[in-house]
Amino acid sequence: MKLILTLISLCVSFILSAQKYSEVLPPESIRTVQLFNPQTNDQMPLIRLGSEYLILSFDDLNAGFQEYNYKIEHYNADWTPSGIFQSEFLDGYSSDYIRTYRNSFNTYQIYTHYQLQIPNRDTRLKVAGNYVIKVYTKDENNPVFTRRFAVYDERKVSLGVQTERAIGSKDLTQRVNVLVSSPQMNLTETPDGATLFIMKNNNWEDNLTIKKPQFTQNNQLTYRDQNNLFEGGSEYLWFDTKTLEVPALTTERVFRQDSLYHAVIRADFQKHNLSYFDDRDVNGAFYIRNARLMDQTMSSSEADYVWVHFALDEFNDAGGNKELYIVGSFNNWQIAPQYQLKKTDADMWEAAVLLKQGYYNYQYAVYDNSTQKISMSEINGSFWQTENLYQALFYYRPWGVRYDVLMGYGEANTRN
One-character DSSP codes across 145-187: EEEEEEEE-TTT-EEEEEEEE-TTSTT-EEEEEEEEE-SSS-T
Q: How confident is the model at residue 13 (pLDDT cuts 50, 70, 90)?
A: very low
C-alpha 153/C-alpha 159 separation (Å) is: 12
382 falls within a domain: no
340 and 353 housed in the same domain: yes
**Contact criterion met (CB below 8 Å) for 238 and 251:** no
On whether both 80 and 131 belong to a single domain, the answer is yes
Distance CA 326, CA 103 (A): 28
Mean pLDDT of the chain: 92
Residue 158 confidence class, pLDDT cut points 50, 70, 90: confident
Instruction: Look at residue 336 and tell me if it is in a domain.
Output: yes
Show the domain range for 369. 237-375
Average pLDDT over residues 309-326: 94
Residue range 173-231, pLDDT digits in tens? 999 999 999 988 888 888 789 999 999 999 999 999 999 999 998 789 999 988 899 99
Residues 245, 352, single domain; the answer is yes
- Quick check: is 194 in a domain? yes
Q: What is the DSSP letter of 386?
A: -
Question: Given this model, what pLDDT does residue 169 score?
Answer: 60
Residue 186: exposure state from Cβ atoms within 10 A (0-12, 13-18, ≥19): exposed
User: Domain tally for the chain?
Assistant: 3
Question: Per the domain annotation, does 320 fall within a domain?
Answer: yes
Question: What are the strands of the beta sheet with 54-60, ordered from one edge?
Answer: 30-36, 54-60, 112-118, 100-103
Average pLDDT over residues 108-121: 97
- CATH number for the domain including 177? 2.60.40
Measured distance CA(339)–CA(56) in Å, rounded: 22
Say yes or no: 260 and 334 in one domain: yes
11 falls within a domain? no
Q: Read off the CATH number of the domain in which 122 is found.
A: 2.60.40.10
Tens digits of residue pLDDT in 391-406 = 999 999 988 899 999 9
Residue 5: pLDDT band with limits 50, 70, 90: very low
Please check whether residues 96 and 196 belong to one and the same domain.
no
Q: 342 by DSSP, 3-state: which?
A: strand
